[in-house]
């Protein structure tokens, strides 16, 4: 189904399919293509309205009977790591960070494949080959970077331990996809990557880290509530996540706006 605003782009809705986060739920996505000279402005604008990027597509959930998935962003200026998060930073303090252009390497793919096989063998990316992986990294019409984390041994040899595909927005960093050595479970590498991105954003004067969707009730996504102050995009605005909101959230609220009304409420950047 296609929905159009007075000026491009056009928005579409996917067919219903099983939800990857909540058992027994069905998901649909609202999406639009991302290309051309205005791609960066569109990515910036729609990221502020709860959309996420996957290659040259921007999307967000638009499920009929559920609104549990909410885009989440960390307020970097006010973030203070907890005691356990400070321990994670300390455990990984010998890692070195390198920020590079979005170009896929065999070293990236080998680590990515190892990560999927041990952590997400039954996920939607399982079986992704090198060409598909390269497309995920390299097919970006916006300002993207690959943030790499290396460990160096006594002989000066570097080994890639983690990486994250990251978009640079005008108001923050958007963590598109991260992966790491699953053998380092005790070092909480996933948490470290988020904490280091918060540190990078603060150093660059950027107020937000966009984490993707927070999904209460989903073990895969619930961890994002640990990075507060956290804001979630709900009912057209960003709301500070509170303990009361976590306790009272409902997976199947009534009265979700029809897709046409959701599209009509989207604000597009000025056309250049």
The pLDDT value given to residue 124: 66
The pLDDT value given to residue 254: 42
User: ∠238-20-88 over CA atoms, to 5°?
Assistant: 65
The pLDDT value given to residue 7: 54
Average pLDDT over residues 169-195: 96
Taking the model in full, what pTM does it have?
Answer: 0.91
Backbone angles phi, psi at 171, to 5 degrees: -120, 10
Name the strand (E) or helix (H) holding 164.
strand 158-169
The pLDDT value given to residue 252: 46
Structure tokens at 123: 């996920």
Backbone angles phi, psi at 260, to 5 degrees: -60, -40
Q: How far apart are the first and last CA of the chain?
A: 27
The answer to whether 88 and 195 have CB atoms below 8 angstroms apart is yes
Structure tokens at 231: 């804001």
Residue 272 vs residue 102, higher pLDDT: 102
Per the prediction, the chain carries an average pLDDT of: 90
Q: Is the dihedral of CA 81, 68, 185, 106 positive or negative?
A: negative
> Which residues fall within 8 angstroms of residue 120, CB to CB, at 6 or more apart?
126
Structure tokens at 271: 């056309």
The pLDDT value given to residue 50: 95
> Which residues fall within 8 angstroms of residue 165, CB to CB, at 6 or more apart?
102, 136, 137, 144, 145, 146, 175, 176, 177, 178
Q: E-strand spans in the chain?
A: 2-4, 10-13, 17-18, 26-27, 29-33, 52-54, 57-61, 70-75, 96-100, 144-152, 158-169, 172-180, 208-214, 230-234, 237-240
The CATH number that domain 76-203 falls under is 3.40.630.30
The pLDDT value given to residue 2: 57
- Strand, coil or helix: 105: coil
Distance between CA atoms of residues 270 and 272, nearest Å: 6
pLDDT tens track for 67-111 = 888 999 999 999 999 999 999 999 999 999 999 999 999 999 999
pLDDT tens track for 172-184 = 999 999 999 999 9
Average pLDDT over residues 143-147: 98
Confidence of residue 270 (pLDDT cuts 50, 70, 90): confident
The pLDDT value given to residue 5: 47
The pLDDT value given to residue 247: 72
Spatial CA neighbour of 50 closest among 73, 22, 27: 73
Range of weakest confidence among 49-58, 80-89, 152-161, 212-221:
212-221
pLDDT at 251 over 60: no
The answer to whether 18 and 26 have CB atoms below 8 angstroms apart is yes
- Residue-range domain boundaries for the chain: 76-203
């Amino acid at each position: 189904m296609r929905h159009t605003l007075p000026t491009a782009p056009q928005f579409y809705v996917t067919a219903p399919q099983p939800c990857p986060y909540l058992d027994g739920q069905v998901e649909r996505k609202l999406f639009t293509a991302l290309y051309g000279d205005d791609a960066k402005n569109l990515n910036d604008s729609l990221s502020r309205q709860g959309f996420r990027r996957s290659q040259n597509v921007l999307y967000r959930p638009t499920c009929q009977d559920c609104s549990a998935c909410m885009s989440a962003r960390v307020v970097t200026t006010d973030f203070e790591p907890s005691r356990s998060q400070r321990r994670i930073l300390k455990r990984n303090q010998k890692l070195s960070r390198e920020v590079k252009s979005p170009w896929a390497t065999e070293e990236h793919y080998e680590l990515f494949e190892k990560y999927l096989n041990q952590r997400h063998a039954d996920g939607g990316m399982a079986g992704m080959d090198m060409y598909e992986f390269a497309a995920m990294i390299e097919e970006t019409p916006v300002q993207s970077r690959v943030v790499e984390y290396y460990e160096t041994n006594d002989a000066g040899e570097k080994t890639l331990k983690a990486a994250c595909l990251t978009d640079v927005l005008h108001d923050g960093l958007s963590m598109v996809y991260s992966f790491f050595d699953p053998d380092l479970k005790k070092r909480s590498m996933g948490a470290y990557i988020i904490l280091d991105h918060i540190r990078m954003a603060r150093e660059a004067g950027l107020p937000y880290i966009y984490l993707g969707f927070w999904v209460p009730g989903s073990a895969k996504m619930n961890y994002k509530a640990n990075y507060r102050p956290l804001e979630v995009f709900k009912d057209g605005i960003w709301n500070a996540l509170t303990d009361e909101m976590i306790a009272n959230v409902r997976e199947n609220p009534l009265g979700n706006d029809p897709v046409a009304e959701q599209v009509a409420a989207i604000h597009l950047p000025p056309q250049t």
